[in-house]
Amino acid sequence: MNGKLRLPKQIKKILTKIFVRPWPYWVGGLLIAIANIIYLAVTNKYWAITTGFARFGAWLLEIVGIEVQTWAVWDYYEYLRPWKDRYTFSNLGIIIGALIAILLAGQFKWKKLKNKKQFFLALGGGWLMGYGARIAIGCNIGGLYSAISSLALNGWLYLPFIVLGILIGSKLLQKWLV
């Protein structure tokens, strides 16, 4: 009887640790590295995000009749419609993966926008990220994480300047909000 009761308790403890308690950062870091290595080994491709955003936005413009295929940017990387773009699938996967994780933890909750200021900070910040990532050809993932993982000098060049941007951005934000 005792043994029977103890086993489920231990399993429950392990399940709670995996699905409810937050993981230590180093565990997350380790698993992200492993996932990326496996993806590279299987597909010969690296993880990136924002090129997919640019293609998606261009496709929306195409729908309303604007000529986007002649943009010079596609000389550097191909123009693909969203359903032919692997980034569409990985980006949607991140959203759904996070949704599954938080639901299994029982912690999902709609978090509403607080005010107008937050709306404009979100829109403006997102816009700057999108624009910057296009100029640098990479966001914090393609330009930084995957690039440094590839032993690429461009990743190491990216790092000090994203640090500088975040430092100055944070200081500006603190000043605005005070």
Partner 1 sequence: MADKKRLNSSGLGIQRKVGGGFLLIALVIYIVLYLFLPPLFAYSWLLGLALGFILQRSRICFTAAIRDPLLFGMTELSRGLILSLMISSLGFAALQYYRLSQGLSLIGRFVPLGWHIPIGAFIFGLGAAISGGCASGTLMRIGEGFQMQLIVLIGFVLGSTHGAYDAGWWYQLIGEQEVTHLPTILNWPKALLLQLGLLIMLYLFAYWWEKYQFRS
Q: Which is nearer to partner 1, 2 or 122 (CB)?
A: 122
Positive or negative CA dihedral for 116, 121, 126, 132?
A: positive
The reply to whether 111 sits near partner 1 by the rule CB under 8 A is yes
The reply to whether 9 sits near partner 1 by the rule CB under 8 A is no
The reply to whether 104 sits near partner 1 by the rule CB under 8 A is yes
The reply to whether 35 sits near partner 1 by the rule CB under 8 A is yes
Could you give the 3-state DSSP secondary structure of residue 138?
coil
Nearest to 145 by CA among 18, 28, 5, 36: 36
Q: Which is nearer to partner 1, 11 or 127 (CB)?
A: 127
Give the footprint of partner 1 on residues 117-176 (CB under 8 A).
118-119, 121-170, 172-173
Of positions 7, 11, 60, 78, contacts partner 1 by CB under 8 A = 60
The reply to whether 80 sits near partner 1 by the rule CB under 8 A is no
C-alpha to C-alpha distances, 22 to 15, 16, 29, 112, nearest whole angstrom: 12, 10, 13, 23
Residues in the chain: 178
Of positions 4, 5, 10, 109, contacts partner 1 by CB under 8 A = 109
- Which helix (H) or strand (E) segment holds residue 126: the answer is helix 116-136
Of positions 7, 11, 14, 30, contacts partner 1 by CB under 8 A = 30
Of positions 7, 8, 103, 117, contacts partner 1 by CB under 8 A = 103
In angstroms, the CA 116 to CA 110 distance is 18
User: How many residues line the site for partner 1 (CB under 8 A)?
Assistant: 123
Nearest to 136 by CA among 121, 123, 151, 146: 146
